[in-house]
Chains A and B, each alone.
Chain A
Amino acid sequence: MIAIIGAGPAGLAAAISAAQSGQHVLVLDSAPRMGGQFWRHRDFVKGYRSEKAVEIFESFRKSNSVSHISGASVWSVEKSQDGFLINYLKNGKEECAHCEKLIIATGGYDRALPFPGWDTPGSITAGGAQAMLKGQSLVVGEKIVVAGTGPFLLPVATGLAEAGAQIVGIYEANNPLRWALSPFALLLNLSKFGEFLHYRKLMRRHGIALHFGKIATSFVEGEVSISKVRTRSGGQIIAADAIATGWGFMPDLTIPGIVGCNQKVDRFGNVYCESNWEQRSSINNVWVAGESTGIGGADLALVEGAIAGLSATGARIELRLLLRRWRLRIFAKALQRSYPVPKNWTSWLKPETTICRCEEVPYQSIEDSIRELGAKDSRGVKLFTRCGMGLCQGRTCSRNVSEIVQQITGAEISDAERLAYSNRPVAAPIPLGILGDGKKN
């Protein structure tokens, strides 16, 4: 049997292509419904479901040999004699699925940067605002600032506006001229320009202004401070009851880490799971697809998923899929190049700004642990301050802490440090009672 962890674009595409072989495919996903973060629409939410999603959902449902277990929260994966054991929680019980082959498509999440007030109600990630809107038809505020970097800010802002919110402005930290660095990627992906024009139209309709080279540096008592990225000058105060920030995405590499798949660091400092041309990971009979292999968006995830599904069943991989993946990966790289996180982002932190939300660790404590106690990396800071030891297991703060250390000490962040972020043997919290009742040989 082939098991797929994740029912987002990559996981669904993998399931559909693997099912063509007639082999039994099991898809496990923690959400109540399929679609992942990208297609998390509820049926009663109108207007968001793209035709592609409808098509994928349909083929998925029609695939006879596919079973989908929703609400399955995978907490660990173990190697067995002839494959893998996937341990997951469903409805408060532990279940175990056995498979010979495993496709990991666990997606990603928003990169969040701390700023004064980012831990107060009303501050939400761009993805979070989108999730509440698409998944729950809930608009997170009446007067919303959208800030950060990347093209994802546009659908978030326009989506919120369509749902009735007033978007005070989109503050994009980078300059669009950075795209001049990647003309080839643009030429290869002209359709992406069409997407931009679509959002542009919506922005016009709702009177949303897009500001380049500007960032939101604080959100305190209903006021957002905006300043220029380079000079930090031109401070401007805007009234808003919510702020949605997004700084690109990060893959959740917890499951690949548990399985032991080799991970690497790209030149932008992003960690990703290594895969070959067939989406095979470094571990035999384990494939990775979608954001796990490096952030690339839903279109790329669909292609990678399809390739992984075909490879896992031994089917021929069509050249057109490989070409499409090549083209989309070039675009993904161009996105990374065009929308970097400002190097000096730590300069907007105040001593009391929370860095680790779970353990409520302020910037000052981190600075003290570095200057006074000799912490040299995020692990040291963690041991001294508990930064990253909380419920989210450092998913939110690890990378930010590394960059704070780098900013203070001037030392480069080692690959080993970055690779250690996803070392989480417990992928999802599990009650000790259930754990102890589970199989013991």
Chain B
Amino acid sequence: MKNPDAIVIGAGIVGATVALSLTNAGLQVLIVDRGPVSSGTTGAGEGNILVSDKEPGPELTLALRSRDLWFDLQDDVGDCFELEAKGGVVVARRDPEPLFHLAKKQEQCGVLIQKLDNYAVHELEPYIHPEIEHGILYSQDAQCQPMLAAAHVIRAVVNRGGKFIAGAEVQRILHHNGSVSGIETTQGSFSTKIVVNAAGTWAGNIAERAGSQLPIAPRKGFILVTEPVNKYIFHKVYDSDYVANVASSDADLQTSTVVEGTQSGTILIGASRQRVGFDTTMNYEIVRRLAAQATSLFPILRDVQLLRIYSGFRPYAPDHLPVIGEDAQVNGLWHSAGHEGAGIGLAPGSAQLLTDRILARDTFMDAEPFSPKRFQSSLTQLRSAI
């Protein structure tokens, strides 16, 4: 496949789903990645498909659509990535009003919410701290196993005439008269008119290889994994502080409590956010903080043992919105990156949006807020942002 219709750079979930929607639209797609499937942020993700943590706005619209597309994706490629509509329970430890206020606004945007009183909270989550009295159930929140999802989606692309080359690092994105003409990789050159940059945290780097720029930076997070235990946690449960942290631009460390059980019996505990570049050093103080927060929410976890910790890098843009759309300078270079901690959930929606834009079809929402041009209009401003 020397002249594919489109080339997708990145074999994470964002790249995989774009590749599949382009393939399903009749294009012949080549996926390249410098590593194997899911070797970047997808491989360090919890598999969140959330609507609950989004403030009303374009990201929530995308999240709602994307959430439904996840179930369509399962119909398309098969029930093979542990997709589960487990639902999210967001609790307020102190004043519940901000949470209720947010939920109300979300409801107006089409989010299904259910206000939980003391009794209902404890019925849904019997092991939660007895003093927790208020919460919201978000029944649309779901979960999948993202590495399996990316792998099965790519497999579907390949079965439908596409191709995946692992270990092919993109060296240059070629363009001629301002339009993409192909790419050079460590495993050969390919001609195409459409290149999709789905390199996640490394998307800025890929943009540079086309002579363009994209202000995507890493935000580090730790996830704690416990030993396998009996089922103590039935939903994705988090503290309402989490929403504020997700939206925050603060460079300093932030932690909020996110706790959930997995099908294998382990419990995942998050979430920390830290802007420290690609630094993989372990910080045990953060680990202790996450443990303390999780055990204060679920006292039963005090006797559950921590087994491992992993860290990953969430790709984010300065305004914390994903970047989905065509490059301002290079025609035919499309970006889908910067989904921060929501890349798994937003992947199929982003794929749909980008595919519709590439094929100049009607889109299900206004894609303008995600346009890369919002950063690329002023390069000087952009440089200072990085």
- Identify which of B148, B224, B282, B307 contacts A373 (C-beta below 8 A): B148
Known contacts A429-B305, A432-B305; is-contact A438 B288 (Cβ 8 Å)? yes
State in angstroms the CA–CA spacing of A366 and B314 once bound together.
Answer: 29
Q: A380 to B307, Cβ gap below 8 A?
A: no
Residues of B149-199 contacting chain A, CB below 8 A: 151-152, 154-155, 164, 166-167
Closest B residue to A435 using CB positions: B291
Instruction: For the complex formed, measure the closest distance between the CB of A369 and the CB atoms of chain B, giving whole angstroms.
Output: 8
Say yes or no for A372: interface residue by CB 8 A criterion.
Answer: yes
Query: Measured between C-beta atoms, what is the minimum distance from A266 to chain B in Å?
Result: 25
Alpha-carbon separation in the docked complex, A359 to B225 (Å): 14
Known contacts A391-B307, A432-B305: A386-B151 contact under CB 8 Å? no
Instruction: Give the chain B neighbours of A78 by CB distance below 8 A.
Output: 284
Is there a chain B Cβ closer than 8 Å to A313's Cβ?
A: no
Query: Once bound together, how far apart are the Cα atoms of A111 and B355, in whole Å?
Result: 50
A373 and B227 within 8 A (CB)? no
* A437, CB-defined interface residue at 8 Å: yes
Asked whether B36 lies within 8 Å of A432 as measured between CB atoms, the reply is no
Q: How far is the CA of A294 from the CA of B269 in the complex (A)?
A: 36
Query: Chain B: interface residue count, which band?
Result: 35 or more
Residue from A374, A432, A433 with most neighbouring chain B CB atoms (10 Å): A432
Residues of the B chain whose Cβ atoms lie less than 8 Å from the Cβ of A439: 285, 288
- CB-CB contacts of A357-396 with B at 8 A, as 1s and 0s? 0010000000001001111110110011010011101000
Q: A432-B304, A433-B301 are in contact. Are A391 and B227 (CB under 8 A)?
A: yes
Chain A nearest CB from B151 CB (Å) reads: 4
Q: Are B294 and A432 in contact (CB under 8 A)?
A: yes
A359 to chain B, nearest CB (A): 7
Which of A376, A384, A424, A436 is in CB contact (< 8 Å) with B288? A436
Output the least CB separation between A415 and chain B (Å).
16
List the B residue with the shortest CB-CB distance to A359: B264
Q: Is B308 engaged at the interface, CB distance under 8 Å to the other chain?
A: yes
- The answer to whether B151 and A384 have CB atoms under 8 Å apart is yes
A429 near B292 with CB under 8 A, answer: no
Does A87 touch B at the CB level, under 8 Å?
yes
| B308 contacts A374, C-beta separation under 8 Å | no
A176 within 8 A of B: no
- Asked if A431 and B303 make an inter-chain contact with CB atoms under 8 angstroms apart, the answer reads yes
- Interface presence of B17 (CB below 8 A): no
Chain A proximity of B312: nearest CB distance (Å): 12
Interface size class of A (residues with CB under 8 A): 35 or more
B276 → A minimal CB distance (Å): 16
CB-based nearest A residue for B36? A376
Check B285–A424 contact: CB distance below 8 A.
no
Tell me the bound Cα distance from A424 to B266 in angstroms: 17
B287 an interface residue at 8 Å Cβ cutoff?
yes
Known: A78-B284, A384-B147. A426 touches B38 (CB 8 A): no
Nearest-Cβ distance from residue A66 to partner chain B, whole angstroms: 28
**Interface assignment of B13: CB less than 8 Å from any CB of chain A:** no
With a cutoff of 8 Å between Cβ atoms, the chain A residues found around residue B43 in the complex are 379, 383
CA distance A327 to B123 in the complex (A): 68
Residues of B within 8 A of A384 (CB): 147-148, 151
Task: Please determine whether A432 and B151 come into contact, CB atoms closer than 8 angstroms.
Answer: no
A440 within 8 A of B: yes
Q: Which residues of A contact B155 (CB under 8 A)?
A: 372-374
Closest to B307 in A: A429
Residues of B within 8 A of A391 (CB): 227-228, 307
- B291–A374 CB distance below 8 A: no
User: Is A430 on the interface with B (CB-CB < 8 A)?
Assistant: yes
Within 8 A of A (CB), among B90-146: none
- Residue B346 interfacial (CB < 8 Å): no
Residue picked from A76, A380, A390, most chain B C-beta under 10 Å: A380
- List B residues 271-316 near A (Cβ within 8 Å): 282, 284-285, 287-289, 291-296, 301-309
Which residues does chain A contribute within 8 Å of B227, judged by CB atoms? 391, 429
A258 within 8 A of partner (CB): yes
Scan A43-77; emit 1 where CB is below 8 A from any B CB, else 0.
00000000000000000000000000000000010
Which one, B224, B269, B303, contacts A433 given CB within 8 A? B303
Encode B217-255 as 1/0 by CB contact (under 8 A) with A.
000000011111000000000000000000000000000
Known: A87-B284, A431-B303. A425 touches B295 (CB 8 A): no
By a CB distance below 8 angstroms, the chain A residues around B225 are 389
CA–CA, A431 and B309, complex, Å: 14
A441 at the interface (CB under 8 A from B): yes
Distance between Cα atoms of A252 and B109 in the complex (Å): 54
On whether the beta carbons of A374 and B309 are closer than 8 Å, the reply is: no
B39 touches A (CB below 8 Å): yes
Nearest A residue to B281, CB-CB: A260
* A429 neighbours in B (Cβ, 8 Å): 227, 305-307
Shortest distance in angstroms between B155's beta carbon and chain A's nearest beta carbon? 6
- Residue in A closest to B164 when the chains form the complex, CB atoms: A374
A436-B294 contact, Cβ under 8 Å, with A373-B148, A376-B166: yes
Q: Does B37 contact A (CB under 8 A)?
A: yes
Residue of A nearest to B287 (CB): A435
A359 and B151 CA atoms in complex are apart in Å by: 20
Query: By the criterion CB–CB under 8 Å, are A432 and B284 in contact?
Result: no
Which residue of chain B is the closest to A257 with respect to CB atoms?
B282
- What distance in Å separates the Cβ of B77 from its nearest Cβ neighbour in chain A? 12
> Which residues in chain A, 301-324, are within 8 Å of chain B measured between CB atoms?
none
A426–B291 CA distance with the chains assembled, in angstroms? 13
B359 CB to nearest chain A CB (Å):
27
Task: Give the one of A87, A386, A434, A441 with max B CB within 10 A.
Answer: A434
- Contact mask A278-318 → B, CB, 8 Å, 1/0? 00000000000000000000000000000000000000000
User: Would A424 and B302 be within 8 Å (CB), given that A372-B155, A384-B151, A433-B295 are in contact?
Assistant: no
Known: A440-B285, A441-B285. A432 touches B166 (CB 8 A): no
How many Å lie between the Cα of A437 and that of B288 in the bound state?
A: 8
* A373 proximity list for chain B (CB < 8 A): 37, 148, 151-152, 155
| Complex interface: chain B residues within 8 A of A76 (CB) | 282, 284
Tell me the smallest distance from the CB of B232 to a CB of chain A, in Å: 12
Within A74-107, which residues are at the interface with B (CB < 8 Å)?
76, 78, 87
Q: Are A431 and B302 in contact (CB under 8 A)?
A: yes
Residues of A within 8 Å of B164, CB to CB, are 374
Complex-state Cα separation, A376 to B307, whole angstroms = 25
Q: Are B305's CB and A431's CB within 8 A?
A: yes
Chain B's nearest CB lies how many Å from the CB of A410?
14
Cβ–Cβ < 8 Å partners of B306 in chain A? 426, 429-432, 435
Asked whether A374 lies within 8 Å of B292 as measured between CB atoms, the reply is: no
Q: What 13 new A-B contacts, CB under 8 Å, besides A429-B306, A432-B305?
A: A258-B282, A373-B155, A376-B36, A386-B264, A389-B266, A429-B305, A431-B303, A432-B269, A432-B291, A433-B295, A437-B292, A439-B288, A440-B285
30 A-B residue pairs with Cβ-Cβ distance under 8 Å, sorted by A, are A373-B151, A373-B152, A373-B155, A374-B154, A375-B151, A376-B167, A377-B36, A383-B43, A383-B148, A384-B148, A389-B264, A389-B266, A391-B228, A424-B308, A426-B307, A426-B308, A431-B302, A431-B304, A431-B306, A432-B295, A432-B302, A432-B305, A432-B306, A434-B302, A435-B288, A435-B292, A436-B293, A436-B295, A436-B302, A439-B285
Interface residues of A (CB under 8 A from B): 76, 78, 87, 258, 359, 369, 372-377, 379-380, 383-384, 386, 389-391, 393, 424-426, 429-441
